[in-house]
A and B are shown apart, each in its own frame.
Chain A
Amino acid sequence: MAERTTNLKGKTPERAAEDGAGYWKANIRIITISLIIWALVSFGFGILLRPLLAGIEVGGTDLGFWFAQQGSILVFLALIFFYAWRMNRLDRQYGVEEE
């Protein structure tokens, strides 16, 4: 994505529209990546891909069971905090944060 270090305030309308599109595109990209991880740890490791992880033992059962009961929750937490941090930074890069 286009990283912008300068804070673009006082921009022309065309510039603003272009920036708006860039900001939204960057946001969609971050959302997509996050949701892929979200689905992978829960529906993937926790449920459908569990047979693939059956060989990895965790405390009397396998890794898939751990993902289903605890691992996915820990990843969800990390994802939300990552998204909040990343988006607040993106807001500032594009100069669209709240005053």
Chain B
Amino acid sequence: MDQFTINLIFVGASFAIYIGIAIWARAGSTAEFYAAGRGVNPVINGMATAADWMSAASFISMAGLIAFVGYNNSSFLMGWTGGYVLMALLLAPYLRKFGKFTVPEFIGDRFYSSTARVVAVICLLVISITYVIGQMTGAGVAFSRFLEVENATGLYIASAVVFIYAVLGGMKGITYTQVAQYCVLIIAYTIPAVFISLQLTGNPIPGLGLFSTHQETGQYLLTTLDGIVTDLGFAQYTAGTSYLNMALFTLSLMIGTAGLPHVIIRFFTVPRVADARWSAGWALVFIALLYLTAPAVGAMARLNIMDQFWPDGVQGEAVSVETIETDPEYDWMANWIQTGLLGYEDLNGDGRIQYYNDQNPDMQALAAERGWQGNELTNFNRDILVLANPEIANLPPWVIGLIAAGGLAAALSTAAGLLLAISSAVSHDLIKTLIRPDISEKGELLWARVSMAGAIVLATWLGLNPPGFAAQVVALAFGLAAATLFPVLMMGIFSKKMNSAGAIAGMLTGLIVTLAYLFTYLGILFIPGTNLLENVPANYLLGISPLAFGPIGALLNFGVAVLVSRSSAEPPIEVQALVESIRVPRGAGTATSH
């Protein structure tokens, strides 16, 4: 059986399971559609949250970004886990006690203002759609590889599948499907990592293998890797460069996590306040299983790639074009070249492919001496690394099929959760509450589905030319969440005096300033070529990269909110009483909707 058939079987079987569950648990009422009737156990909820959370960015993209950059991209690891601490301590229990269905609903009630609610809906839509672009990017990569088509075709297929899938079920379908997806994605991520860790270090636990001895050289794995990459002119794997950007970027991802509407919505679905606290912990347990493995996947993949291009070591000869074309060990290259995400070119015509850092001045001298005329691995899309990893390590075909299924599970589960957040914001917060309160349940569900479809079309169109690799696009969504929703949610709980004018001004400031900063460097609406300044560090304000801007937006949001709130009337006494009541767990009933 060929690889294509095996991929189809694995992906097909996993899809059959998800769709089966979605049909079995089809949402009947609007309450079920949004929040699964609140009957979800904290461990199960934690697992579903983990699947919801770990998207194409975590599964497909993150290890690749770590692999090619090293220590500096540890931001993704700390940022996307540390946010759960903020979530568990600062938001989850109180939002559960408040007991409504959506984030804009909380903001509208707490700040006693429909305007605040509408502004929250706008923030939510901007965040979620940016996030969906990242998912589409990742899902497109996965589909293009396993169906062996061009990247853009993969993207269209991905959007069709997401559409059918998300429109079928609401949260209840999604909760149990997401448990199944978690199982698929964690198995798919772990198995190849275990194989590779055994091959390289003899240690079956990848997270420990990362800090173990590399069997071939007898040195530590990281020491070996540092040696090879620096010999080729790349930055040392374990060394850091810009500590300011790294700290800000990490903070952006952390605050953003705690401000992401589709994750917050999860904590509305647990039965009790105490469960909301435990749920965040369980979610992080399931997330950590992947996140402790990811840095090992990154480092080991980088080592394997170096080894493929420099089979005789970096002082020896590079791999020959003939070997790449004929040796089955290099089949993965041909497979990925047809997606358009990988490419090589024998620039100096010596029949060999030299992969090195041609931007490094010291390396240029050495290259001239050895007759190299530039880096010949001309294209290596970071998003292919995790999916290509089992092929690069020559693992059995079923492992490769498994990772295709896992990558798609990760992209689909998150896309579905995001679309749910988008659709509930439009149908519930905009249409039902503000525009047409007399709308029937059926009409509300229809609007929910129409808004999902609209969001997918927009995200697919923008996903054709994404403003970065999947994890970077997703990181932009986090920056926006950090700058808009997190500060007002937190002030809504921790400050009784924060009023509607302050919250609205804060959210708008955070949203507008952050979007302006992103669009300046990445293009208006992320459309390539419309950027005002080139996206290079020399142009950045105080050296802060667009990816790391979230905390600055959040700071402005906090500052403006406090200033405006101090200079306008205090919130009404019943709102202050509401804040008192959400601070204690007692009296948390089942959630209501108005």
Residues of chain A touching chain B, judged by Cβ–Cβ distance below 8 Å, are 20, 23-24, 27, 31, 34-35, 38, 42-43, 46-48, 50, 58-62, 65-66, 68-70, 72-74, 76-77, 79-81, 83-84, 87-88, 91, 94-99
Contacts and interface: CB of A to CB of B under 8 A. Distances in A.
Contacts of A59: 210-212, 220-222
Interface stretch (B53-61, B71-79, B160-168): B71-79
A34 B281 contact: no
Nearest to B240: A50
B247 A61 contact: no
A99 B588 CA distance: 9
Contact of B281 (A48, A60, A68, A80): A80
A80 B88 contact: yes
Contacts of B278: 81, 84
Contacts, number: 142
B247 A47 contact: yes
A48 B242 CA distance: 10
B251 A88 contact: no
A31 B583 CA distance: 13
A74 B78 CA distance: 10
A77 B284 contact: yes
Contact of B583 (A24, A46, A77, A79): A24
Given A60-B221, A60-B224, 10 more contacts: A42-B250, A47-B246, A59-B210, A70-B210, A72-B81, A73-B288, A76-B82, A76-B84, A84-B274, A95-B586
Nearest to A94: B584
Interface in B242-285: 243, 246-247, 250-251, 254, 272-274, 277-278, 280-281, 284-285
13 contacts: A20-B580, A38-B86, A43-B251, A47-B243, A47-B247, A59-B221, A59-B222, A60-B211, A60-B220, A66-B211, A70-B210, A77-B285, A88-B277
Contact of B219 (A24, A31, A60, A68): A60
Contacts of B86: 38
A34 B254 CA distance: 15
B292 interface: yes
A61 B238 contact: yes
Contacts of B226: 60
Interface in B67-109: 71, 74, 77-78, 81-82, 84-86, 88-90, 93
A26 B178 CA distance: 37
B340 interface: no
User: Interface residues of B: mostly helix, strand, loop or mixed?
Assistant: helix
Contacts of B292: 70, 73-74
A91 B221 CA distance: 48
B585 A96 contact: yes
Interface string B335-357: 00000000000000000000000
Nearest to A72: B78
B182 interface: no
A38 B243 CA distance: 18
B497 to A, nearest CB: 15
A68 B89 contact: no
A32 B481 CA distance: 23
B372 interface: no
B277 A70 contact: no
A20 B295 contact: no
Given A59-B220, A70-B292, A84-B281, A38 B85 contact: yes
A28 to B, nearest CB: 8
Contacts of A88: 274, 277
Contacts of B78: 42, 46, 68, 72-73
Nearest to B294: A69
Given A20-B584, A98-B585, A76 B284 contact: yes
B282 to A, nearest CB: 9
B212 to A, nearest CB: 6
A69 B82 contact: no
A99 B250 CA distance: 39
B82 A42 contact: yes
B278 to A, nearest CB: 5
Interface hub of B207, B254, B272, B281 (most chain A Cβ within 10 A) = B281
B50 to A, nearest CB: 13
Contacts of A91: 274, 584-586
B526 interface: no
A60 B586 contact: no
Nearest to B581: A20
Contact of B247 (A48, A58, A73, A94): A48
A92 B224 CA distance: 54
Given A48-B247, A98-B585, A80 B274 contact: no
B533 to A, nearest CB: 27
Given A43-B251, A98-B273, A34 B586 contact: no
Given A20-B584, A38-B82, A84-B278, A65 B71 contact: yes
B223 A60 contact: yes
B281 A77 contact: yes
Contacts of B71: 65, 68-69
B88 A69 contact: no
Contacts of A95: 586
Interface in B284-315: 284-285, 288, 291-292, 295
